[in-house]
Amino acid sequence: MKSSVDKELNLVHSLKLIKEAAKKKARLICFPEFQMAYSPPEQKSESLHKIAEKITGNFVSTLSNSAKQNRINVIATLYEIINTNDKNHKVFDTGVIINELGKLKSIYRKVHLYDALGFKESKKLLAGSIIEKPSKTSVGKLGLLICYDMRFPEISRILTVNGANILVSPSAWVAGFMKREHWEIMVRARAIENGVYVLAPNQVGNIYCGHSMAIDPFGSTIVDMENREGIEFIDIDSSKIDTTRRTLPLLMNRRTDVYRNYIDVFGSKL
């Protein structure tokens, strides 16, 4: 998806994609980060704050109604405000899981803000402080992370050991030197090390690198959308998760009895 700066246009486009997915019997549709609107680097926090909504606002409510009408699970993203009178004008970068009944199953606020490689998301965004438990859906148990979170393997592992068999990472991965290579390597690594499917819908165009990907539990690329907008359909085979974890038992072979001896021992160096 290539989000525009107009959230109403992006919402209309999102509804069309949900209908398209449902017509082809998809049970889950995953949107990228910044689905609500593209925020240009020069945009001030005050302007972004005006775009943002509460979870109970029109953006999520409309997507929830569409999920119910089309009987499809939806993973969506928005700029979220909790306190409309917040004087610092910062907003949360939030992902939600909506089930096929239109019920909100999970609200995840991005933990790791992209303050790196010349960017400073913390100028406009607030960091979340909770890793939400995976959500049981008709597709599988979904663990949600967002974009820059992918660079921190701890969050994917925490979601996995808490039951996730599908990790979904809505992203807006900025293009640049070696950025696409980093993206592809880390999306595959998170799948391999955890024995999970990784679904990584990414923004295309504007300042982003595209290449939305789906990776199976053994690290094979099921789809790479390159610079295409639109939908790719894939099948999730839960038996492949079981087979991979049995033949490559990385989770079982962890030495947590050793690791725990080093938690906090090295302080900030760990």
Which residue numbers are catalytic? Answer: 33, 110, 147
Classify 2 in phi/psi space as left (phi over 0), alpha (psi -120 to 50) or beta: beta
> Residue 127 corresponds to which amino acid?
A
Give the torsion sign (CA, 183, 186, 188, 190).
Answer: negative
Cα dihedral 217, 221, 226, 231 in deg (nearest 10): -60
Geometric angle at alpha carbon 264, from 189 and 112, rounded to 5°: 45
> Helix count (H) and strand count (E) of the chain?
7, 13
Cα dihedral 28, 186, 206, 32 in deg (nearest 10): 20
Longest dimension (CA), the chain: 54
